[in-house]
Amino acid sequence: MNELLEMKEKLNLLKERSLYRNLKVISSEQTSSAVVDGNIKLMLCSNSYLDMSSDKRVKDFVKEIIYTYGTGAGGSRLTTGSYNLHSKLEEILAEMKHTEAALVFNTGYMANVGVISAICDEDYIIFSDELNHASIIDGCRLSKAKTIIYRHNDMVDLEKKLKENTYKKGLIVTDGVFSMDGDIANLPEIIKLSKKYRVLTMVDDAHGTGVLGRHGRGTAEYHGVEGLIDIYMGTLSKAIGSEGGFVCGSRVMIEYLKNSARSFIFSTALSPATIAASLKALEILRVDNRKISDLQENIKYFCHLLNQMGIEVSSESAIIPIIMGDENKALSAAEELLKEGIFVSAIRYPTVEKGKARLRITIMASHSKEELKFAAEKIAAVVSKCEIV
């Protein structure tokens, strides 16, 4: 069939350009190490930053919930899928983000797509950071609004664009922590501009939640601007170690989203077990911030090690990119590291711009100092070898 031939050709083209992706299969728990394609590897690319998914307290609670509530949710949230567990989780999330209410979606992707397309109509202009996550981009595309891209975290460019465009309603949307660069959005300035130009603010704190701020409440806690974001979105799939996305904001907005966000309405709710994992992880974080401080200490330690070894990095989030440029170089470095026992992802186009391929290293609270030292030495050796080639 011609269609299949065409697909094959497209796949071959991706292979030629070092852009082909395949799945690495994990067959163990994902902690600071895991069994990857049959062999144990040090995990240096998991988003489970706090290692909550292997926490015994979380697992015990989930087990109990499965025996009480069963497995699947049985319906969408608006039919039979809303459990008291969902309501409890939403209460806790609203409190965590200092807002009146919250709504849980099945994934972070679905939250962004659902929220932006439900709120922004043709009367809006959306001002979106050029490095925002794909789910924000897709949400903007699905909405009927015009989208204007501003230069990454560049507040002068954002203000210029707010000034030179006319609109009835506007929204500034940004990642809190940028997912492939690990840097942090300038929320205080974004809030100032939103007030000056009378537009809404939306922050995607997928990678800030559980990581930034003394209590892990995210980028707003880090900047001291809690309660000042109109639409505070996040995920439960990263530091919280479970699955799901959420949005926090005013009670009216949350009621509106329940009645209009298509990705919320037309999908079966998350299972009680998944919700229970988030509930327990958040409860642990509320009373004990040791994992957060361990993570923050590990991030500092790892950056320090790499800098000492001549690789310039700096990050306050758990994401530490090493830019390799060429796609093939990034891929070869990741393959070399895997042989050395370290699992790191090579991030390439279209996740990042062409020619900006990178190793995306992520740190976990449960990494030991020895593991981090071992990894830094191997990475420094592999990266310097790649640069010589």
Subset of 252-291 contacting ligand PLP (CB under 6 A): none
Binding test (CB under 6 A) with ligand PLP, winner from 175, 181, 230, 327: 175
179 labelled catalytic: yes
Q: 17 to each of 21, 98, 104, how far by Cα in Å?
A: 11, 46, 39
Considering only residues 81 through 110, tell me which ones interact with ligand PLP, judged by CB under 6 A. 107-109
Taking Cα atoms as reference points, which of 318, 279, 299, 261 lies closest to residue 96? Answer: 279
> Residue 229 CB, nearest distance to ligand PLP (Å)?
15
CA-to-CA separations, 234 to 45, 161, 238, 297, in angstroms, rounded: 19, 26, 9, 23
User: Binding pattern to ligand PLP, positions 133-172, x when CB under 6 A?
Assistant: x-x-------------------------------------
User: Which residue among 237, 274, 345, 366 contacts ligand PLP (CB under 6 A)?
Assistant: 237
The identity of residue 78, as a single letter, is L
Token match 């990454």: residue? 152
- CB of residue 356 vs ligand PLP: minimum separation in angstroms? 17
Question: Could you identify the residue written with the tokens 């329940």?
Answer: 258
Active site residue 161: no
* Interface pattern 333-362 for ligand PLP (x via CB under 6 A): ------------------------------
Q: What is the contact mask toward ligand PLP in residues 287 to 326, using x (rule: CB under 6 A)?
A: ----------------------------------------
Nearest to 193 by CA among 212, 210, 170, 218: 170
Given 131, 173, 206, 383, the residue binding ligand PLP (CB under 6 A): 206
| Long-range pairs, 185-191, Cβ under 8 A, ≥24 | 185/129, 185/153, 185/219, 186/153, 186/155, 187/219, 187/220, 187/223, 187/225, 187/229, 188/223, 188/224, 188/225, 189/155, 190/155, 190/158, 191/225, 191/228, 191/229
- Look at residues 218, 241, 183 and name the one whose alpha carbon lies nearest to residue 365: 241
Residue nearest to ligand PLP (CB): 108
207 belongs to the catalytic site:
yes
Stretch binding ligand PLP (CB under 6 A), from 63-71, 181-189, 199-207, 298-306: 199-207
What is the C-alpha to C-alpha distance for residues 30 and 23, in angstroms, rounded to an integer? Answer: 15
Q: Give me the least distance between CB of 207 and ligand PLP, in Å please.
A: 6
Given the residues 41, 133, 207, 280, select the one marked as catalytic: 207
**179 binds ligand PLP per the rule CB under 6 A:** yes
Neighbouring CB atoms inside 10 A of 323's CB total 15
Rounded to the nearest whole angstrom, what is the least distance from the CB of residue 244 to ligand PLP in the complex?
Answer: 7
Check residue 235 for interaction with ligand PLP (CB under 6 A). yes
Q: Residue 245 interacts with ligand PLP (CB under 6 A)?
A: yes
Angle of helix 56-69 relative to helix 272-287, nearest 10 degrees, comes to: 140
Q: How far is the CB of 8 from ligand PLP (least distance, A)?
A: 28
Q: Are 188 and 154 in contact (CB under 8 A)?
A: no
- Tokens 């919700």 found at: 275
Contact positions toward ligand PLP, by CB under 6 A? 107-109, 112, 133, 135, 175, 179, 204, 206-207, 235, 237, 245
Residues forming the active site? 179, 207, 238
